[in-house]
Amino acid sequence: MKEFFATFVIINTVSLLLACNVLAAEYDIPEGKQRLIGQIQYHQVEQGDFFQKIAEQYNVGFLALLAANPSIDPFLPEVGTRVVIPSAMLLPFIKQEGIVVNLPELRLYYFEPDKNKVHVFPVGIGRQGLATPKATSYISEKRKDPVWRPTKAMKERYLKEKGVVLANEVPPGANNPFGKYALRLGTSEYLIHGTNKRFGIGMRASSGCIRMYDDDIKWLYDNVALQTRVRIIDQPIKMSYENGQRQLIEIHEPLTEEPGKQTIKLANAVQRFVGSNRNYWHQLVPVIEKPTGLVIELEEGEQDEGKTY
């Protein structure tokens, strides 16, 4: 594990030197009860590519890219390899308004009022032991060039875990972990904010706040109004009957506060959705055991896997 992060930090430092502007993914909201947005993309690895660079290029999360491509080395992918970009998704099962953060998929959705548009961003959330809580809140404050004031608990944790004494406050600038913009959630200490590091977007790596790429948080800062409703939800499994015919399902690794792999618990709704069709279960079991985060269409016939979107 230490070698994993050491390698990541070295490569990530290189990525900081790359000029890579990420753009918000904007989609039309489907009509009726349809939930599928976007479409899967593919990237052919070129010399010098690695997953963090590719994730930034397509504005997706690092872990999402890793889950969709489990057999590819994220740091030294072979030139010419085809990388799946998880840019198709099902909208969460929730009222389509304001900001929705679905924790297991590490994505933030912003439903633009009166425009039938949804904007989707990768986010970083709280790491194990410091989980971002489920909540219903609102944007109470918007800050440009925020000052970072670590909490007492954070100071104690940094001293214990890293031997680092944190300052009482860190002014705006390159050393400020909030980045250039921050949005406060209600009266809480939780923020949606930028970052001074590329590492951690699309991962569980924060102290509980929601991190975004700098271009993404700037877009939210410029476009989201105060009092906008915010809901933080936990939906590792999303389903949809598209056009009343195609059965689509998207499964993500569930959140856990314990080390190791978490077993997915299938709710009654999932079992009703799949039914007793053995072929469907045959296609679904591998994805349940090792979630890819990709949208899968359950298909008739004895197939090893469903169609991927």
**Could you give the residue numbers annotated as active site?**
193, 209
- 256's CB contacts (< 8 A; 6+ apart) are 128, 262
Do residues 41 and 58 lie in contact, with contact meaning Cβ atoms separated by under 8 Å? yes
- 287's CB contacts (< 8 A; 6+ apart) are 249, 251, 296, 305
Q: Which residue has the tokens 């961003």?
A: 121
Distance CA 190, CA 194 (A): 13
Q: What's the distance, Cα to Cα, between the start and end of the chain in Å?
A: 32
Q: Give me the amino acid identity at 197.
A: K
Which structure tokens are listed for 72? Answer: 């590819």
Distance CA 303, CA 31 (A): 30
Q: Is 245 helix (H, G, I), strand (E, B) or coil?
A: coil
